[in-house]
Amino acid sequence: MLSVVGAFVFGVELLKTEAGRNAPLPLEEINKRYGNLTPKFWGQDVPGVVTRFDPSGLQVALTLDACGGKGGSGYDRELVDFLVENNIKATLFLNARWIRDNPDEAKNLEKNPLFLIANHGFRHKPCSVNGKEAYGIKGTSSVREVWEEVEKGARAIEKLTGTRPGFYRSGTNYYDDVAVQIVYDLGMKPVGYSILGDGGATFSSKKVTEAVSKARPGDVIICHMNHPEGETAEGLKLAIPILLEKGYTFVRLDEVIN
């Protein structure tokens, strides 16, 4: 049973559960609210997308994407093992296809309290209501498709963890402002980044180390855990000790973002 309390994002009232988390609106209501709206913004830093947090001391948030699909369903065991061995917390954005292709790994990650499992969508699409492209990938092209991309990804996470995710990152990290509002109406916060850690798993280990070691308090670092053939693990294995030596701690997003 829902209790309705006041919560507004971009002037839109949201429902909340008794526990305080925004309850997802059904597709019919989403269509009613947003079906006739035209986006004004498109990009990675659209208003409403979380890119940083208010730190308590020297805190940074490491986020790892697992994108799934052709060429993207690998598992960087070396990277994950390093995080576990060094007690490093991280938020893992898992795509539904990656979970499908890596069921045992996904379950093991879900069981580890170091990691928060978050939503990386159903088909790894840019989050658009009119089919905008990013990096040659066509985005969702309607309110319905945004709803399906976000909601089906959320349901895959909930099936894995038993808990509905509180955070969502779109495929390619591109959004329009109408889609951002839909994400909030589905009970999740859209997340971007402030530190591009591995360039979609294309950076050399040296470049990863340079990028990540420059993190400052409140930064959200994005890297990838689905390309073991890349050099992300090697770079993070050098960058993380540098930050630890400076006194930084790594936090999950749910620990620092309400």
Query: What CATH number did the domain enclosing 179 receive?
Result: 3.20.20.370
- What would the pLDDT profile of 14-47 be if each residue is shown by its tens digit? 434 333 355 789 999 999 999 999 999 999 999 9
Choose between 5 and 226: higher pLDDT. 226
Q: Please provide residue 211's backbone torsions phi and psi, each rounded to the nearest 5 degrees.
A: -70, -50
Rounded Cα–Cα distance for residues 144 and 146 (Å): 5
Asked if residue 97 has pLDDT above 50, the reply is yes
Task: Determine the pLDDT at residue 22.
Answer: 57
Q: Please provide residue 6's backbone torsions phi and psi, each rounded to the nearest 5 degrees.
A: -75, 125
For the segment 197-208, the average pLDDT, to the nearest whole number, is 98
Number of Cβ within 10 Å of residue 30's Cβ equals 21
- What is the tally of structural domains in the chain? 1
Please report whether residue 225 resides in a domain. yes
Q: Which residues pair with 133 in a beta bridge?
A: 138
Angle made by CA atoms 7, 11, 13, in degrees to the nearest 5: 40
**Domain extent for 193:** 27-256
Task: Determine the pLDDT at residue 70.
Answer: 85
Please report whether residue 13 resides in a domain. no
For the segment 51-66, the average pLDDT, to the nearest whole number, is 98
Please report whether residue 18 resides in a domain. no
Please report whether residue 66 resides in a domain. yes
Task: Determine the pLDDT at residue 37.
Answer: 96
Pairing of strands 59-66, 42-43: unpaired
Q: In the predicted model, what is the mean pLDDT of the chain?
A: 92
Task: Determine the pLDDT at residue 23.
Answer: 73
Under 8 Å between Cβ of 146 and 129: yes
Please report whether residue 7 resides in a domain. no
Please report whether residue 221 resides in a domain. yes
